[in-house]
Structure 1
Amino acid sequence: MTKLTQSKRSLVDLALEELGQRLTSGIWAVGSRIPTEPELAEQLGISRNTVREAVRVLLYAGLLEVRQGDGTYVRAITSPAEAMRSISRASLREQLEVRAVLEESTARLAALRADEQDIAQIERCLAVRGEQQQYQNADDFIARDLDFHLAIADACGNAALAELYRYFSRTVQLGIQFSIQDEALPDPDLASHQAIVTAIRNRDAAAAAQAAAAVTGPLLQALDTLLPPSAG
């Protein structure tokens, strides 16, 4: 029986790795039913909530499927870790395009599902973020900007989608730092970000998605100019 222990990586990541090994090793064959959440929680020595989050990611990735009233079954056995490595080898522009899609999706869902506490947290993060010009350290601004977008992802009501956003947002940021270095990228002003918050508070899903697209669009256009074809 495998017991997972806390480390710098989240327990969800560790659970994903363990479940992925069961898929790729053949312990769980395609078409077989996996243990229930309580059974997995006991086997791994973690909470049911952590198991649920890990299973949701595998469901979202298409490796598992739920059969109503019958349980969760193995749909494919491709390793989640290998899938993530493949994604990391994609071009920076491809990764950013995926992040843009995720930002539109999380903003749209947040407008439909966020409660008052979620919206208040988004507004607090935006207030802390402020404008780029007020920062002497670019890394500090990047961190505060990411906090704002993560708050929206956390408010979308879909844990798997929020986890995917976390992965892509950090991967893209690292790619930008390594590929462009000192080049200046356009950063939408506070008003552009406020438009997302306003749409979410107004429960206007279409406007929220449109505002999110307006934030990522200029960055995609800038990458086409700044990056050579092989890098983008």
Structure 2
Amino acid sequence: MQIQRKTLAQEVADRLIEGIVSNEYAVGEKLPTEPELMKIYGVGRSSIREAIKILSIQGVLDVQQGVGTFVISNIIHESLESQMDKAQIEDVQEVRSLLDAKIAAKAALHRDEEQLEKIQFYLNQRNTLAEEKKALECYQADINFHIAIAEACGNSLLKEIYKITSSHILRSFEIRHNDTSSFIISQAIHERLYLAIENKNAEEAAFIAQQIVDQIY
């Protein structure tokens, strides 16, 4: 389960927003056709369509079948992901840390056997990679472990926010870290978190998750 970077569709949507804000595409104006947009941005038809869908949902574009796509607003509500792109890593880390205990507690109550197996898979992978001193791969496994818990929490919004924050933290780690000693030290408490979720002990899961956040191990 790889952390997703910004998609081509989101990049095209961002470029279109830049054009709308700069009045390259004015309110009331019809956008170029799909083939023209494909040529302008160098992407396939599916990315163009997905970008238009993103901006339609945001109330920026209006798709009129058989007529074309029109700009209907230049008031852009910045996405959570875009805001996090501009945030300090410490702020992103704080957002994620506020979620961990709640997500762990809900995962303990709502997880199914398939989700539990996925959590355990990444827990074991985290340990193996730490012992092999593969820092980036180990951190990816650690992120995937926590995202697997988020996927089991039963709240899709919490899951998506957690995935976005985790992707930004991963980028920071890739730049700054090359050691696995902290992962080896913290493996035992991560195993305790898994057991709490396996045993459906929400209170214990929340307590351990907070200890991990506060690095009390």
TM-score, L = length of structure 1: 0.58
Give CA-to-partner distance per residue, 1:184-231, whole Å, 9 cap, x none. 884452111012111112212122122111112239xxxxxxxxxxxx
- Hey, what does 1:191 align to over in structure 2? 188
Distance change >3 Å, CA 212–CA 141, structure 1 → 2? same
Could you tell me which of 58, 68, 76 is aligned with 1:23?
58
RMSD: 3.3
Q: Which has the larger radius of gyration?
A: 2
Identity of aligned residues (%): 25
State the 1:96 CA deviation.
0.4
Distance 2:60 2:142 in 1: 40
- Hey, what does 2:77 align to over in structure 1? 79
Amino acid at match of 2:7: R
Distance change >3 Å, CA 182–CA 117, structure 1 → 2? closer
State the 1:16 CA deviation.
7.9
Could you tell me which of 143, 146, 149 is aligned with 2:146?
149
Distance change >3 Å, CA 202–CA 10, structure 1 → 2? farther
In the comparison of the two structures, how many residue pairs are matched? 162
Conserved 8 A contact 2:106-2:153: yes
Amino acid at match of 1:96: Q
- Hey, what does 1:111 align to over in structure 2? 108
Distance 1:137 1:125 in 2: 14
Distance 1:214 1:164 in 2: 21
Give CA-to-partner distance per residue, 1:160-191, whole Å, 9 cap, x none. 2222211111101212343x456888445211
Asked if residue 164 in structure 1 is aligned to residue 161 in structure 2, the reply is yes
Conserved 8 A contact 1:21-1:79: no
Distance 1:19 1:203 in 2: 38
State the 1:127 CA deviation.
1.7
Distance 1:190 1:90 in 2: 29
Asked if residue 9 in structure 1 is aligned to residue 44 in structure 2, the reply is no
State the 1:110 CA deviation.
0.5
Q: Secondary structure at the match of 1:87?
A: helix
Distance 2:51 2:163 in 1: 15
- Hey, what does 2:198 align to over in structure 1? 201
Alignment of 1:93-104 (within 5 A): 93-104=90-101
Distance change >3 Å, CA 160–CA 216, structure 1 → 2? same
Conserved 8 A contact 2:101-2:206: yes
Conserved 8 A contact 1:107-1:152: yes
Give CA-to-partner distance per residue, 1:145-168, whole Å, 9 cap, x none. 122112111111222222221111
Give CA-to-partner distance per residue, 1:16-62, whole Å, 9 cap, x none. 8724444342759xxxxxxxxxxxxxxxxxxxxxxxxxxxxxxxxxx
Distance change >3 Å, CA 143–CA 207, structure 1 → 2? same
Could you tell me which of 204, 209, 212 is aligned with 1:212?
209
Structure 1 residue runs of 4+, over 3 Å off? 8-17, 19-22, 180-188
Query: Structure 1 stretches of 5 or more lacking a match?
Result: 1-7, 29-76, 220-232
State the 1:133 CA deviation.
4.2
Conserved 8 A contact 2:85-2:168: yes
